[in-house]
């Protein structure tokens, strides 16, 4: 009789054993498929998170390393060494890399209004608090000893229309136009509506701005008027004129860099604060970063930031679940193979006589092993087929339970963090203090994909061959004469 036919008959006649094996393998298959599906869902969630955060990568000074070096070396506020300045030459090295669809250069400065008046702000805090705010901002922006004169903030860029404030709707251009790279050497400005109304200005008018040391006076032509949406703005520091979003003026970055030199913030006009690279698709962010790290840029002083801290906030819990599910797949695969091997070895005790008869009839040991493998494969196929219908439910339930637990743990750790940490708080010369904290991904849709099924099939085959390896060795050692003699 053909060994394939014998394998089929063996499975159908030994119903109890077959059902037990189907249940065991079904449990293994469901857990393995759950682990694979959770990993796939995590990858999809990661792509969605990247798209939500946007496909931008920022090259800027690593201020954490800078501050750490200051603490280690010791310094005084009066003799604070200059922070690393990003050169245009370094920034240009990344604009032609793969996946870059656009770029922007950022530079900012604090200045003093000359022939116009800034929008008044209400002093809601005491003088002590005001002094503390000034000291804090001086530490954060480094505008030297003349910061008391500052009442206007300049936000320099290459393309004003690409700035987050405008693309996300915080600011809205209501009249005129944005400036572009064609205006980089021109003294043009985009001014807030309230500042325009206070000084009875209009498109085409000119305003004079001077550096904090009074040595530079620059005349700007108004080419655009914008309206600031301050509904979601944190009011920290709003008692300072230059911190008011109404007193923020957008200018080409080259002009802002010139004023930074005058304010003794930097020593070169050929430097910027940061370079923003717009990636063609958010999922290509990591590819761009990996390629950018190979460029000839001193990454001990500078860093690439793709909203990594926010991404970690969003994806931290779910990535922990994915890591755990990956471990589950490995453990279940090995444990499943071991359990299955044990069951098969135990079942061989009851089949020694059958094997002895087959060997005495001249059946090769390879075919007997083949029969054992086919039997296991038949049961595995049945169990794994059933798991395709139940695996999604198991994966979703298991994933939800693990994710909720991880979120609780991460929230507990966040609550224990020191108040005022760097996470989520970003301050700029425009006066807007934004809380960049985002909520972690608290749910994900688990679905069984064709790729998951392919992996499950390969794992199933691996389990079968591992499980039948030890029994196969024992079969090769069987002596038909000894088996039949003992059975008598």
Q: How far apart are the first and last CA of the chain?
A: 25
Higher pLDDT, 65 or 425: 65
Average model confidence (pLDDT) for the chain? 76
Q: How far is CA 74 from CA 67, 68, 90, 140, in A?
A: 10, 10, 29, 17
- At 185, is the secondary structure helix, strand, or coil? coil
- At 305, is the secondary structure helix, strand, or coil? strand
Closest CA relative to residue 303, chosen from 109, 81, 61: 61
Contact assessment for residue 158 and residue 181, using Cβ atoms and an 8 Å cutoff = yes
Question: Phi/psi at 58 (nearest 5 deg)?
Answer: -110, 125
* DSSP one-letter string for 342-402: HHHHHHHHTTHHHHHHHHHTT--HHHHHHHHHHHHHHHHHHHHHHHHHHHHHHHHHHHHHH
Domain positions in the chain: 3-50+314-487, 56-306
Q: Average pLDDT of 348-361?
A: 76
What is the tens place of the pLDDT at every residue in 372-392?
Answer: 888 888 888 888 888 878 777
Contact assessment for residue 368 and residue 475, using Cβ atoms and an 8 Å cutoff = yes
Let me know if 146 is exposed, middle or buried by CB neighbors in 10 A (0-12, 13-18, 19+): middle
Contact assessment for residue 107 and residue 156, using Cβ atoms and an 8 Å cutoff = yes
What is the tens place of the pLDDT at every residue in 222-253?
Answer: 999 999 887 655 554 456 788 888 999 999 99
Alpha-carbon distance of 21 to 18, in angstroms, equals 5
The residues that bridge with 155 in the sheet, in sequence order, are 108, 250
Q: Average pLDDT of 403-431?
A: 48
Q: What is the pLDDT of residue 256?
A: 87
Alpha-carbon distance of 174 to 346, in angstroms, equals 81
Alpha-carbon distance of 193 to 305, in angstroms, equals 32
What is the tens place of the pLDDT at every residue in 60-107?
Answer: 988 888 788 777 766 655 556 667 888 899 999 999 999 898 899 999
Alpha-carbon distance of 158 to 424, in angstroms, equals 26
Q: What is the pLDDT of residue 125?
A: 40
Q: What is the pLDDT of residue 332?
A: 80
Range list of H helices, 263-364:
285-292, 308-349, 352-360
Q: Average pLDDT of 109-131?
A: 69
Q: What is the pLDDT of residue 411?
A: 56
Q: How far is CA 246 from CA 120, 211, 452, in A?
A: 9, 19, 54
Look at residue 4 and tell me whether its pLDDT is greater than 70. yes
* Positive or negative torsion for Cα 148, 149, 155, 158: negative
Query: Which two tokens mark 276?
Result: 């923003």
Q: Strand 433-435 to strand 425-427: parallel, antiparallel, or no bridges (unpaired)?
A: antiparallel
Q: Strand 171-176 to strand 217-228: parallel, antiparallel, or no bridges (unpaired)?
A: antiparallel
Alpha-carbon distance of 215 to 211, in angstroms, equals 6
């Amino acid at each position: 009789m053909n060994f394939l036919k014998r394998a089929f008959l063996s499975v159908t006649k030994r119903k109890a054993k077959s059902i037990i094996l189907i249940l065991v393998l079904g449990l293994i298959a469901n857990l393995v498929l759950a682990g694979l599906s959770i990993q796939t869902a995590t990858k999809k969630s990661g792509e969605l998170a990247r798209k939500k955060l946007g496909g931008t990568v920022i090259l800027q000074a690593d201020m954490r390393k800078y501050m750490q070096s200051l603490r280690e070396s010791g310094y005084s506020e009066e003799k604070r060494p200059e922070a690393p300045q990003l050169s245009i030459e370094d920034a240009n090295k990344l604009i032609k890399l793969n996946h870059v669809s656009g770029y922007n250069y950022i530079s900012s400065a604090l200045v003093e209004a000359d022939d116009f008046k800034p929008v008044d702000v209400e002093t809601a805090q005491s003088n002590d608090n005001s002094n503390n705010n000034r000291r804090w901002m001086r530490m954060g922006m480094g505008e030297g000893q003349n910061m008391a004169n500052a009442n206007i903030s300049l936000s320099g860029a290459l393309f004003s229309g690409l700035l987050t404030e405008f693309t996300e709707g915080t600011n809205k251009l209501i009249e005129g136009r944005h400036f572009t790279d064609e205006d980089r050497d021109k003294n043009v400005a985009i001014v807030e509506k309230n500042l325009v109304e206070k000084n009875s200005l209009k498109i085409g008018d000119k305003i004079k701005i001077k550096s904090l040391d009074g040595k530079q006076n620059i005349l700007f032509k108004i080419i655009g008027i914008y309206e600031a949406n301050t509904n979601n703005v944190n009011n920290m520091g709003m008692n300072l004129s230059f911190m008011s979003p109404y007193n923020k003026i957008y200018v080409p970055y080259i002009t802002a860099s010139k004023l930074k030199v005058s304010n003794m913030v930097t020593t070169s006009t050929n430097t910027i604060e940061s370079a923003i690279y717009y990636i063609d698709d958010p999922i290509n962010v990591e590819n761009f970063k990996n390629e950018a790290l190979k460029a000839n840029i001193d990454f001990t002083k500078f860093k690439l930031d793709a909203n990594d801290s926010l991404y970690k906030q969003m994806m931290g819990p779910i990535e922990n679940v994915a890591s755990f599910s990956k471990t589950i797949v490995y453990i279940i695969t090995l444990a499943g193979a071991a359990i299955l091997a044990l069951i098969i070895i135990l079942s061989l005790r009851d089949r020694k006589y059958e094997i002895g008869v087959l060997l005495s009839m001249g059946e090769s040991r390879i075919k007997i092993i083949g029969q054992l493998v086919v039997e296991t494969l038949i049961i595995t196929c049945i169990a794994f087929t059933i798991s395709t219908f139940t695996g999604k439910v198991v994966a979703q339930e298991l994933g939800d339970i693990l994710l909720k637990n991880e979120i609780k743990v991460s929230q507990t750790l966040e609550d224990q963090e020191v108040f005022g940490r760097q996470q989520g708080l970003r301050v700029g010369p425009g006066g807007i203090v934004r809380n960049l904290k985002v909520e972690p991904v608290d749910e994900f849709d688990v679905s069984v994909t064709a790729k998951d099924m392919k992996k499950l099939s390969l794992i199933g085959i691996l389990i079968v061959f591992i499980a039948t390896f030890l029994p196969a060795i024992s079969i090769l050692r069987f002596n038909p004469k000894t088996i039949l003699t003992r059975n008598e």
